């Protein structure tokens, strides 16, 4: 009996390890996954073929919408990357009108997401959402500089607990056709929590407060909710 109990415990432990290693799926991706699975099942019923390809397509779609758990670093004042990807651009620019920030040049850090990256977006710091604004546009390649002003995008301003204002903009890419944003003006948010999703290739711009320099470099990989883009060293009075 003891041996049986130990065996059952080992199986349960192994099952837990497997379950913990599979990241959850963002709710915004579930309808897409269901549609792909239904299409695959329909092809299988009509043709008697395509089981393997259908399973592969469904698994690949589910992987695209994964939302792995992230642990923000215990670094006071850290502005965390809002997305997984590669730092494509770091420039001094005037924030776009939709952010309603002061019209003075600030550092903008642009993270480009390939189709293989995690596509959920994360809150960069503890704070409160001041505003959210959707702007329609075109679907240029997200790694182009003018994608920040021409592409479909969703902009939010975060009032941080340090008293600063951060601008974060989700930008649709060449293949993206849907931006999901789950926060609204007035919401209290925590660093690292997921707040949105861009479907199939995209970019996320972070506008730092005036005088704050980035601590990342062009070409550097970022992990959403964990990689510090910059550090706010003092509170605004």
Locate tokens 């510090």: which residue?
A: 228
Locate tokens 């293989």: which residue?
A: 116
Closest C-alpha to 208, from 237, 171, 168, 235 = 168
Burial track 113-130 (b if 16+ CB lie within 10 A, e otherwise):
beeebbbbbbbbbbbebb
> What phi, psi does 59 have (nearest 5°)?
-65, -40
Closest C-alpha to 125, from 211, 235, 46 = 235
Question: For residues 128 and 156, is the Cβ–Cβ distance under 8 A?
Answer: no
> What phi, psi does 51 have (nearest 5°)?
-60, -50
CA distance 155 to 212: 20
CA distance 138 to 100: 22
Catalytic residue, chosen from 107, 110, 148, 202, is 202
Closest C-alpha to 181, from 134, 236, 228, 237 = 134
State yes or no: is 202 an active-site residue: yes
List residues with catalytic annotation.
Answer: 202
């Amino acid at each position: 009996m003891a041996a049986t109990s130990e065996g059952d415990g080992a199986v349960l432990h192994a099952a837990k390890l497997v379950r913990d290693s599979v990241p959850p799926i963002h709710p915004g991706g579930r309808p897409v996954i269901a549609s792909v699975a239904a299409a695959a099942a329909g092809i299988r019923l009509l043709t008697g073929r395509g089981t393997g390809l259908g399973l592969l397509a469904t698994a690949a779609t589910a992987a695209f919408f994964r939302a792995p758990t992230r642990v923000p670093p215990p670094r006071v004042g850290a502005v965390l990357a809002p997305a997984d990807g590669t730092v494509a651009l770091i420039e001094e620019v005037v924030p776009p009108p939709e952010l309603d920030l002061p019209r003075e040049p600030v550092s903008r850090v642009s993270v480009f997401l390939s189709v293989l990256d995690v596509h959920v977006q994360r809150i960069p710091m503890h704070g409160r959402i001041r505003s959210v604004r959707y702007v329609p546009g075109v679907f240029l390649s997200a790694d182009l500089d003018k994608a920040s002003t021409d592409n479909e995008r969703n902009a939010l301003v975060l009032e941080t607990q340090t008293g600063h204002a951060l601008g974060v903009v989700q930008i649709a890419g060449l293949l993206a056709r849907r931006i999901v944003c789950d926060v609204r003006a007035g919401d209290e948010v925590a660093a690292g929590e997921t707040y949105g999703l861009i479907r199939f290739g995209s970019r996320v711009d972070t506008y730092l407060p005036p005088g704050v320099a980035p601590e990342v470099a062009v070409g550097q990989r970022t992990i959403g909710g964990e990689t510090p883009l910059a550090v706010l060293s003092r509170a605004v009075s």
